Each structure stands twice: as C-alpha cells, then as structure tokens.
Amino acid sequence: MTQGKRYSLDDPASPAFGVASAAVLGAVALVDPAKLDDRQRRVLRVGSAVVSGLYAGVTIGGRRLPLNVLAGVVAGAATLRFADTSEALDLRLENKLRRVGIQHPRPWMAAGTAAFIIAGFFGDRAAAKRRQFLAMVEDQPEQVRPLDTTVRRLVEGILSASEEAGAQELRAQLDAAEEGYWADEFTGTAYFKVPEGLPRAVPHHQVYPVRARFIGPDGASHQVLVQVFDGLLDHITAEVTNQEGADDGEGLLTEWPDAAEVVYVRESADGTTTTIG
C-alpha cells in the first residue's frame, strides 16, 4: 500500500479511514440522546446523518460518482427518518446493560460500535486485496494443489488457540481444504478451496478474531489473518501489524512463518489485543 493510499479517507481499505471511522462513530455512540434537550437532539441527529452518509458513501460507493453520492444521501436520509426508532433501540440496549450490572454502559456501547466498524474495515481491506490480486492474475487460470504444510499448521494453530464461535466448523473445513492459486511465487496470501457440504461457521463473514504475530526478516512485527466468507475459509494473509506506521518497504515477506515462531493474540471488543497462552 502506498503512502497516499494508507492515509486516504475516501478509500474504505485504507488504515486512516478505518481508524477515523471507528473513532468518529464510536464517539457518536458515547452520547446519550435521552440526556439532551430538543435542540441538542436535533444537532445530534443531523450530525449522525452526516457521519452515516459519509461512511456509506465511502464504503458502498467508494470513488465512483454518482454512486457514492447516492449511497451517502440515502444513508443520511434513512438515519434522519428512523432517528426515533434508533434512539428507542439505543435506550433499550442501555437499560439491558444496566440490568446485567454495567453501571456505565455508554463506553461499552461505543467500544462495541468501534469494534463493529473495525471488523467491517478488515473485511473491506481483505476484499480489496483479493480484487487487486485477481486483477494481477486475471489472464492466468486458477489451479488447485494440496495445501502447504506450513500454511495448514499455521491456520490450525490460529483456529485452536482459543475456542471462538465457528472454530470447530473451520477446523473441519481446514482438514479437507486445498489451495487455489494462480502463480507459483509467494504473494503473502493463500486462498482455500473447501469442498461443498461441510458445516459453515457463524458469523458467515468475518476476520477471525485470533491472529498469529511474528517478527519478519525486516525486523517489523507482522500478523497472519484468517478471512471467512459465507461461512467458509476463504484465505489467509500476512501483513505488517502496524499498518498506520509502516514504511513502504516493510511487509515484503518471502515465505510463511513456522507455527513454532508465532504468538497468538485475540482481538477484544474494544479493538485491543490479548496474548493467548
């Protein structure tokens, strides 16, 4: 990713957009509409509509005019139209959190919103990386081969490090998976070919919350992410852990790390990570 793309706010796959959107939407969720007067509530509703419109315009329309404008206008209008319903649901969620013993639910609601946005960002970035890769190899037919032993052990370690939702189904898929490929050289991404008929994981679309971290030959921290699409293992990818502060020359790996060389971490609801084991 180039320096310009990394800090672009109109690219849903850029780290700058992911961080900014999570921070802004999380901050909006901190505000309790029930404590505002009529004027303040109108300001909050308009602000929420603007933020929602901008977010939808980038994530749905991207840089394609007039699709991004249309998506933004529709999202903003829907936010205003259903503001009463949204605030009622917001109050209901806050009351439920209080009933289970959480004295200050707004920070938890904000963290949950930010985590949801970050998960969407990882999904958008994975999809963008897949489109970029497929564009590079569009003239080459897809081939299938046995899954590399190093990749299999690495993914098995990620799926077994912590018993997350869908882990059992994904491990069963891994046992039967092969690799779909277009070129022999190492690209930092491996695509799975999973047979039909196997149980699917829920959530159907996710970046698995456990990732494998390691130090690359460039001395930078890297991580391996597992992408799930439609309940099936889709691909794994290796990237620099700190995308925001990475230099253009970082992240140029030549092989997958050995499972014995990685540390497994789990992403929490607030976006932080905890080491497993």
pLDDT at 139: 60
pLDDT at 138: 61
Contact criterion met (CB below 8 Å) for 265 and 276: yes
Percent of residues, the chain, with pLDDT higher than 70: 83
What six digits make up the tokens of 239? Answer: 């990237």
From 2-6, 190-194, 266-270, the region with the lowest mean pLDDT: 2-6
Give the Cβ contact number of residue 19 at 10 Å.
Answer: 17
Kindly list the domain boundaries of the chain, sorted by start residue.
Answer: 3-123, 137-275
Mean pLDDT of the chain, nearest integer:
84
pLDDT in tens, 135-175: 555 666 778 999 999 999 999 999 999 999 999 999 999 99
pLDDT in tens, 65-100: 677 788 888 888 998 899 889 889 988 998 999 899
Largest CA distance in the chain: 63
pLDDT band at 4 (very low <50, low <70, confident <90, very high): very low
pLDDT in tens, 9-53: 666 666 777 778 888 888 888 899 888 898 998 999 998 888 888
pLDDT band at 248 (very low <50, low <70, confident <90, very high): very low
Torsion angle, CA of 119/120/126/129, rounded to 10 degrees? Answer: -140
pLDDT at 224: 96
For 95, counting Cβ atoms within 10 Å of its Cβ (0-12 exposed, 13-18 middle, 19+ buried), the class is: exposed
From 129-133, 187-191, 267-271, the region with the lowest mean pLDDT: 129-133
pLDDT band at 6 (very low <50, low <70, confident <90, very high): low
pLDDT at 55: 80
More confident residue, 228 or 247: 228
